[in-house]
Amino acid sequence: MWYPIHVKLTKKSVLVVGGGPTAERKIMRLRQAGAAITVVSPMLTPALEQLCSAGELSSIQRHYQSGDGTGYELVFIAVNDPNTRQHIHEDCPETTWVNIADDGGAGDFITPGMFQRGRLLMTVSTDGASPKLAQKIINSWEKQYPSMYEDYVEFLRESRAFLKKYVAPDKQSELLAWLLEEEVEARVLSGDRQGADQAFQEQLAKYRR
Ligand SMILES: C[C@@]1(CC(=O)O)C2=NC(=C\c3[nH]c(c(CCC(=O)O)c3CC(=O)O)Cc3[nH]c(c(CC(=O)O)c3CCC(=O)O)/C=C3\N/C(=C\2)[C@@H](CCC(=O)O)[C@]3(C)CC(=O)O)/[C@H]1CCC(=O)O
Ligand SMILES: NC(=O)c1ccc[n+]([C@@H]2O[C@H](COP(=O)([O-])OP(=O)(O)OC[C@H]3O[C@@H](n4cnc5c(N)ncnc54)[C@H](O)[C@@H]3O)[C@@H](O)[C@H]2O)c1
């Protein structure tokens, strides 16, 4: 049974073993999360080569050697041979969190598919049963949660902070529920943030202590 968490990786040291398209996808996402990444691989994709040349990625351009996996918080193994992968996994310290691209269940964590609209982060995993299904579900979210959803979540955050300050605790729940009413959502999604803010202020006046 997996335990889902969202982790901060800012400045955490991460090793990626392998330099193919799978390693590239992992590295791009790790960069967005602000991790300090080292890649060890004899071959790198052109995009990874470019990052190394620009000094934006540390690389060790050779095969993994015993001990390479020591000193990192996380290790991602994305090589193309199961025997090599197993040898590398066994060589990593037991306390290190290891992800295995070609056999998720054999590692310590899997990377779920993710979908983001500003502060809204949705993740999906099929326990490796079908990464394609994970992708299909993400595609359905694209349609269900248009890009304006980012503004709606921001509106919710700001309104919630406001009401936590000005409304008595026993009245907050009602107003929080009002924020989620379809009309309010539709208003922000249509681009009328000002109108939504105004409607919120009117509601707030009824509840203010
Ligand atoms: C969701 C996503 C997140 C991410 O990793 O970013 C993800 N795979 C994604 C893409 C993708 N995966 C595959 C392709 C190739 C082309 C294709 O088939 O379309 C592509 C597309 C591409 O590479 O472009 C095939 C594949 N995947 C795995 C195997 C090995 C195996 O299972 O044997 C095989 C080969 C056998 C097969 O074809 O099934 C294994 C894993 N893949 C996982 C996650 C983990 C479990 C996720 C879950 O719980 O469902 C797990 C277990 C390991 C892990 O933690 O990495 C990301 C989609 C979202 C995005 O694109 O952002
Ligand atoms: N998790 C996923 O989402 C996902 C998606 C597609 C494929 N895969 C699996 O992930 C693995 C990698 O996929 P890929 O398409 O990037 O493969 P690839 O063959 O393109 O790349 C493998 C990389 O590993 C490097 N490598 C090989 N032996 C090494 C060693 N001993 N030390 C360091 N580096 C070494 C190679 O130089 C190459 O850069 C495959 O097993 C594939 O089945 C996983």
Q: Whose CA is nearest to atom 41 of ligand 2?
A: 80
**Would residue 181 count as lying in a domain?**
yes
Which residues make beta-bridge pairs with 114? 123
Exposure b/e, 76-112, CB count within 10 A at least 16 = b? bbbbeeeeebeebbeebeeebebbbbbebeebebbbb
ipTM of the complex: 0.91
The per-residue pLDDT for range 87-97, each reduced to its tens digit, is: 999 999 999 99
Q: Contact, 68 vs 40, CB < 8 A?
A: yes
**Closest approach atom of ligand 1 to CA 25:** 6
User: Which ligand is the nearest neighbour of the Cα of 104?
Assistant: 1
Q: How far is the CA of 78 from the centre of ligand 2 (A)?
A: 4
Residue 18: CB within 6 Å of ligand 1?
no
Q: Are residues 91 and 32 located together in one domain of the fold?
A: yes
Domain-embedded: residue 64? yes
CATH number for the domain including 102? Answer: 3.40.50.720
User: Which one of 16, 22, 29, 63 would you pick to mutate in the ligand 2 pocket, going by the greatest count of ligand atoms within 8 A of its CB?
Assistant: 22
In a domain, 78, yes or no: yes
Report how many domains make up the chain.
2
Both 90 and 27 in one domain: the answer is yes
170-205 pLDDT, tens digit per residue, is 999 999 999 999 999 999 999 999 999 999 999 999
Q: In which domain, by residue range, is 164 found? A: 149-207
Q: Is 110 in the pocket of ligand 1 (CB under 6 A)?
A: yes
**100 & 171 share domain:** no
Query: Which tens digits make up the pLDDT trace of 86-143?
Result: 999 999 999 999 999 999 999 999 999 999 999 999 999 999 999 999 999 999 999 9
Residue 148 burial by CB count (10 A; 0-12/13-18/19+): exposed, middle or buried?
A: middle
SS3 breakdown of the chain: % helix, strand, coil, rounded to 5?
45, 15, 35
Question: How far is the centre of ligand 2, averaged over its atoms, from the C-alpha of 52 (Å)?
Answer: 18
Give the ligand 2 atom nearest the CA of 43.
37
For a ligand 1 pocket test, name from 3, 16, 25 the mutation site with the most ligand atoms within 8 angstroms of its C-beta: 25
Is there a single domain that holds both residue 164 and residue 74? no
Which ligand has the nearest atom to the CA of 23?
2
Q: Taking all residues of the chain, what is their mean pLDDT, rounded to a whole number? A: 96
Looking at the structure, tell me whether residues 106 and 21 fall in a common domain. yes
The residue to mutate among 27, 79, 98, 127, having the most atoms of ligand 2 within 8 angstroms of its beta carbon, is 79
* pLDDT score recorded for residue 78: 98
Instruction: Answer yes or no: is 1 within a domain.
Output: no
Angle (CA) 201-197-206 rounded to 5° is: 15
Whether 32 lines ligand 1, by a CB cut-off of 6 Å, is no
